Amino acid sequence: MPPKMFRFNEERDLCLLRETRCINPFTNPPKGWIEVFENLLFSGFFPADCSASQRTCRQRVELLMGQFERLKKIRLASSGIEEEILEKDKLLEELLELRDEALRETKEAAGEKKNTDAELGRLIRDQAMQAMVSEEKADAIDDATCSSTTPKGKKRKRLSGLAESEEWTQYMQRREEDRKMIKQKELELRQMELDHAKQREEEDRRERAEIRRLQAEREERDREERTKMMEMMLQALSKK
């Protein structure tokens, strides 16, 4: 028999909102929503034969918050009308504030990471350019030293074609090494981002597996309880 769809009502909505307010899953999704679901699951909030999950909790709370936001706009448009503030409205108001605060902190953290990556790339490029400039200055100083030590009336001998070729080769080699270093740093940054994405994917997979395990344990306990109940009933009937 397929699992039944879990249906919310006013009382169940209040229980869900209270638990969500207590856990504040907005700061640590999806683990926060899993904690909300597990707490409700072990408290008997969800029947054993229903198809509920942490997504059920999250989507229901998001739906209620969206409805409440639209209702707030209507209330603001209806100036002068006072309405009783219910517990559900208060909980939703607090959850909206928590959600907005979590979103703001997430955006700030993402902006800081982006700035850090950009700054790291800039530093790598600056270091490479400084190394090239330092080498060029050193070459210029060597040239000036040679010129100052050359006796008057004598011109500095022009470097042979072989020497010029060697200097040019060394210069190009240094530039190529600097380019490779910058490329390597960029690859390392991209690899770090890929590793982070893989880590998050693995965490999500483990969390889904944990939810399935908890549901299976809950179903097993329910079956054991029903079996014990049947045995007790049979024993009572046999005594009669």
> pLDDT per residue over 3-56, tens digit each?
788 899 999 999 999 999 999 999 988 899 999 999 998 888 988 778 888 999
Q: What is the mean pLDDT of the chain?
A: 78
Most confident of 90-94, 119-123, 219-223: 90-94
Query: Quick check: is 156 in a domain?
Result: no
Distance CA 57, CA 16 (A): 7
**Closest CA relative to residue 34, chosen from 23, 43, 44, 45:** 23
pLDDT attached to residue 67: 93
Query: Quick check: is 25 in a domain?
Result: yes
Q: Categorize the per-residue pLDDT at 202 as very low, low, confident or very high, splitting at 50, 70 and 90.
A: confident
> 11 to each of 14, 16, 99, 111, 115, how far by Cα in Å?
5, 9, 23, 41, 46
pTM: 0.50
Distance CA 16, CA 10 (A): 10
Query: Quick check: is 4 in a domain?
Result: no
Query: Quick check: is 158 in a domain?
Result: no
pLDDT at 71 over 70: yes
Query: Quick check: is 154 in a domain?
Result: no
More confident: 9 or 214 = 9
How many domains does the structure of the chain reveal?
1
Query: Quick check: is 5 in a domain?
Result: no
Rg (CA), the chain: 35
Q: Under 8 Å CB-to-CB from 96, ≥6 apart: which residues?
A: 65, 68, 69
Query: Quick check: is 79 in a domain?
Result: yes
User: What value does the mean pLDDT take over residues 208-218?
Assistant: 73
* Residue 88: domain span: 10-147+164-239
Share of the chain above pLDDT 70, in %: 74
> 30 to each of 40, 43, 138, 151, how far by Cα in Å?
16, 20, 57, 79
**Closest CA relative to residue 122, chosen from 182, 162, 170:** 182
pLDDT, one tens digit per residue, over 120-156 is 666 666 665 665 555 555 555 555 555 555 454 444 4
Query: Quick check: is 159 in a domain?
Result: no
